[in-house]
A and B are shown apart, each in its own frame.
Chain A
Amino acid sequence: MSNYNLKIKTVTLALVTTTMSALSSGVFAGDISIESWRVDDKDLWQSEVIPAFQKKYPEINVKFSPTSPSEYNASLNTRLAGGTAGDLITCRPFDVSLELYNKGYLMDVSAEPGMEHFPEVAKSAWSTDDGKTSFCMPMASVIHGFFYNKEIFSELNLKAPNTVDEFFNVVETIKSESRYTPIALGTNDGWETHQIVYTNIGPNYWKGEEGRKGLVDGSLKASDDAFIAPYEQMAKWKDYLSRGFQAQTYSDSQNLFSLGRAAIYPAGSWDIAFFAGNAEFEFGAFKPPVQQQGDTCYISDHTDIGMGINPKSSNPEDAKTFLNWLGSKEFAELYSNKVTGFFSLSNHDITINNPVAAEMISWRSECESTIRLNAKIINRGRDDLETSFWNAGASVINHSASAQAMGQKIQSILDK
């Protein structure tokens, strides 16, 4: 009996030790994972970006694990609180990531090699209010504008509009002389009406940074004319949207434009990749129209995406190596050209190959840049402000609320 017992004990011991060593050696020193909301970019990361990194650092394995955009912030917070988050964290700009830094979920990266390639404006989206500490490395910005179907425009003898009057002439012509839908936009999802339309055409009314800073320090009100005027223009768009636009989702709008059934698509530059792949016609881009010919134009050039490091990462050295590579010219060129529509925020001199993306980035030299209106500071402590903006945009286009009423509603939230 004792012999048998001894045998059992040895076998069990052997099994346990082998399993434990197998499990522990499963966590290699060269593994890092990236948290992100860019589910659409997953293929690009796996086929282009990560292989490029591994050519230089073959011993580091990188995993890109995105979460859907509307769930990202909440589930990331849960993972960070529970200690199961990835090593690298894709950072939302401004307050969202500042909160994470204040809670100790992001590492201070101000002194990391690579940060010196980014201008102050870019770093400000991921720095503390005093500007001294950076908690994420800037990656890219997105620019807003309008895409148009070049074939439809040449068929109807139209030119890309410069002023608001020209814009309405164009859409009126499309509506009366053809069966195409003038503007591909729906109000079902709500966020496009704010993040792609209001913050796109708005800066021309509130004069970009001037108006935004006025709203931040309280000298201007959301119920002022400059902030209501874009809503009034949006209300006029209703006649030029397709029938039943109230139930049209974001992907419906994308499909409508890529199938060639709509002429104009209010866009963020991130859409370039989708249409480059799906649209069979040539499309161009034009800036948000100004009120009078010759006015200074303003574009929404939004610092959208950055990368930070989880202080509780099990592999901070490799994470820092990756972050360093993100600051290089190689990554800037790769990202801006492969993940078309995201423009690197670095100082590196890069060439953009895609013609539409090149057109959009050229607006930086013609127009004044500004970020999305409520992205910085204004959303602080006002949880429902962003969704109220979405509802305002959708209601104004639906004609279920007036521009005045929505302006006042936003201001009442700001007043609290």
Chain B
Amino acid sequence: MESDRHFPWHVFVFILPGFLIYATFSAWPLLDTLILSFYDKTDAGEKVFVGFNNYQTLIGDEEMSAGFWNALKNNMQFFLVHVLVQNPIGLLLAALLSLKDLRGAKSYRTLIFMPTLLSVVIIGFIWQLILSPLWGVSEELLYQVGLVDYFDAWLGLESTALITIALISVWQFVGIPMMLIYAALLAIPDELLDAAYVDGASPMRIFWQIKLPLILPTLGLVTILTFIGNFNAFDLIYAVKGALAGPNFSTDLLGTFFYRTFFGFQTNLGSTTMGATVATIMFLIILFGVMVYFYMVQRRLQRYQM
């Protein structure tokens, strides 16, 4: 009876180290960035409180906002390519790999997951070399299949550069949706599938009407992870195109836009306060997306006890 009255101090003690680390390296910098975005630096280097001025400049001002809206639009395209290409392919591969008695399933899994383990600089360099019109093999390969007329300097043209880099990113990360969906598919008990088979359902019907509804929570998770990952994307663009995200800013994402704003590029000196503003807006966009997902989708997903 007495132990009910004692305040559980020990809980706090056990949580404290983890909480301290999280607060110092995650929560405090986030808060500080938010606060920094409300300041501006004078020429003499002093910080001056300007309220929502930076946000107004970023969203409304002609020069500055053009770059921001362009980056946002490109990021949406980047995300769309991932959702339409990466996740369906991941789903397909996972479905194929989870077939019973597939020979070499383990090696396929490893090979498909390997690009995720490679350094992004290596991936950028290799793909740039493969797609290079001067020394790349892609032209030769397309010639072998008779599609050489479609070959072009994709990475250098404004119309195709972003999609090309998005597809390289899809190649890099397809292993992750595949692994997550594969794990979910494995969790489906065989009795359900056997019962459906015995009842006369075709494999296609089994997939669409039994497997897919059962893994819907995982698909939701994969989509939201893709969303967060894409809106934070920076390293592939930086490795392939540099911070300037050419040609003519067509591959500029929010990440590279932030990099240029905060750290500067070439003779442009960056602005820490404006950079903090960009970072805060990126955070808010991602937060908004995740909240929409939680309220609209997650709560309505049917979860089955398996």
- Name A residues whose Cβ lies closer than 8 Å to a Cβ of B: 69-71, 73-75, 77, 81, 92, 96, 99, 103, 186-190, 242-248, 252, 255-256, 379, 383-384, 386-387, 390-391, 394-395, 398, 400
**Interface mask (B193-226 → A, CB under 8 Å = 1, otherwise 0):** 0000000000000000000000000000000000
User: Given A92, A247, A394, which contacts B131 in the complex, CB threshold below 8 Å?
Assistant: A247
Looking at the complex, which of B89-97, B114-122, B238-246 is the stretch in contact with chain A?
Answer: B238-246
Tell me whether B63 is interfacial, beta carbon within 8 Å: yes
Closest to A262 in B: B134
**Interface mask (B259-287 → A, CB under 8 Å = 1, otherwise 0):** 00001111111100000000000000000
* A96 CA to B264 CA, complexed, in Å: 13
- Given A70-B243, A394-B246, A398-B247: A244 and B156 within 8 A (CB)? yes
Closest to B66 in A: A384
* A400 CA to B247 CA, complexed, in Å: 11
- Name B residues whose Cβ lies closer than 8 Å to a Cβ of A: 45, 63, 128, 131-135, 152-158, 242-244, 246-249, 263-270
Q: Which residues from A are CB-within-8-Å of B246?
A: 188-190, 391, 394
Contacting pair B153 A245 (CB below 8 A): yes
Contacting pair B248 A244 (CB below 8 A): no
A-B contact pairs, 17 of them (CB 8 A): A69-B266, A70-B266, A73-B268, A75-B263, A96-B267, A188-B246, A244-B132, A244-B153, A246-B155, A247-B133, A247-B155, A386-B267, A387-B244, A391-B246, A391-B248, A398-B157, A398-B247
Closest to A390 in B: B244
Closest to A96 in B: B267
B156 shortest CB reach to chain A, Å: 3
Contacting pair B153 A247 (CB below 8 A): yes
Contacting pair A246 B267 (CB below 8 A): no
A243 shortest CB reach to chain B, Å: 5
B140 shortest CB reach to chain A, Å: 13
Contacting pair B266 A387 (CB below 8 A): yes
* A237 CA to B248 CA, complexed, in Å: 19
Extra inter-chain contacts (8) besides given A246-B157, A252-B132, A383-B269, CB under 8 Å: A70-B265, A73-B269, A74-B265, A77-B264, A246-B155, A383-B268, A386-B267, A394-B246
A406 shortest CB reach to chain B, Å: 11
Closest to A242 in B: B134
A49 shortest CB reach to chain B, Å: 26
User: Given A77, A190, A243, which contacts B247 in the complex, CB threshold below 8 Å?
Assistant: A190
B101 shortest CB reach to chain A, Å: 45
* A269 CA to B267 CA, complexed, in Å: 22
Contacting pair A77 B269 (CB below 8 A): yes
Contacting pair A73 B134 (CB below 8 A): no
Closest to B63 in A: A384
B37 shortest CB reach to chain A, Å: 19
Contacting pair B244 A190 (CB below 8 A): yes
CB-based A-B contact count at 8 angstroms: 99
B163 shortest CB reach to chain A, Å: 14
Contacting pair B134 A244 (CB below 8 A): yes
- Given A384-B63, A400-B248: A186 and B156 within 8 A (CB)? yes
Contacting pair B266 A73 (CB below 8 A): yes
Q: Which residues from B are CB-within-8-Å of A75?
A: 263
A26 shortest CB reach to chain B, Å: 31
Contacting pair B247 A74 (CB below 8 A): no
Task: Identify which of B128, B132, B154, B267 gathers the most chain A CB atoms within 10 Å of its CB.
Answer: B267
Contacting pair B242 A247 (CB below 8 A): no
Q: Which residues from A are CB-within-8-Å of B152?
A: 244
Q: Which residues from B are CB-within-8-Å of A390?
A: 244
Closest to A244 in B: B133
User: Given B157, B242, B263, which contacts A74 in the complex, CB threshold below 8 Å?
Assistant: B263
Q: Which residues from A are CB-within-8-Å of B157?
A: 246-247, 398
Contacting pair A243 B133 (CB below 8 A): yes
A364 shortest CB reach to chain B, Å: 27
A309 shortest CB reach to chain B, Å: 21
Contacting pair B247 A256 (CB below 8 A): no
A408 shortest CB reach to chain B, Å: 16
Closest to B133 in A: A244
* A387 CA to B63 CA, complexed, in Å: 13
Q: Which residues from A are CB-within-8-Å of B158?
A: 400
Contacting pair B264 A74 (CB below 8 A): yes
* A81 CA to B265 CA, complexed, in Å: 17
A108 shortest CB reach to chain B, Å: 20
Q: Which residues from A are CB-within-8-Å of B155?
A: 188, 246-247
Contacting pair A187 B156 (CB below 8 A): yes
Q: Which residues from A are CB-within-8-Å of B247?
A: 187-188, 190, 246, 394, 398
Closest to A375 in B: B267
* A69 CA to B153 CA, complexed, in Å: 26
A70 shortest CB reach to chain B, Å: 6
A29 shortest CB reach to chain B, Å: 31
A362 shortest CB reach to chain B, Å: 31
Contacting pair B267 A73 (CB below 8 A): yes
- Given A247-B131, A400-B158: A189 and B267 within 8 A (CB)? no
User: Given A186, A189, A379, A384, which contacts B242 in the complex, CB threshold below 8 Å?
Assistant: A189
